[in-house]
Amino acid sequence: MKGSAARDYDSFFLEIALAFPFPDYFGRNWPALNDCLNDLDWLDADSYLLCIADADQLLLDHEAHLPTFVKYLKKSVKEWVNGRDDEEFPTLPTPFHVVFHCTPEQEQTLRDRLTTANMLIEKTCAL
């Protein structure tokens, strides 16, 4: 997914629907994102990886939405990693990783934005 192509609310949902080929019924709103991220059974995968290039630009024009994305993303990652013991929709523990990528010059800006949005940064690496 390209953060540079997802700078506002509408373009964000278009871009994430390209990253995860969501079903046609994807509603392009936060509850729909939550539902689709927590039900990826149409993807035949043993693990999931969301890479966000130019992540420093993600939702930059609608900054108030970044914490909402982080909230739903964290919830989904936790649910996949732990598995879901639900009678209707059980899932086995499944790795789900997210990579926020940016240039070295933008790293601190991205860290600050994600920290403000309540995202814990576990690892960073420089090339």
Q: How far apart, in Å, do the first and last CA atoms of the chain sit? A: 20
Whether residue 41 has pLDDT greater than 90: no
Instruction: Work out the mean pLDDT of the chain and round it to a whole number.
Output: 92
Residue 1, amino acid: M
Tell me the C-alpha distance between 121 and 46, whole Å. 24
Q: What pLDDT, in 10s, does the model give residues 48-101?
A: 999 999 999 999 999 999 999 999 999 999 999 999 887 777 888 999 999 999
Domain definitions of the chain by residue range: 3-116
At 73 the pLDDT is: 96
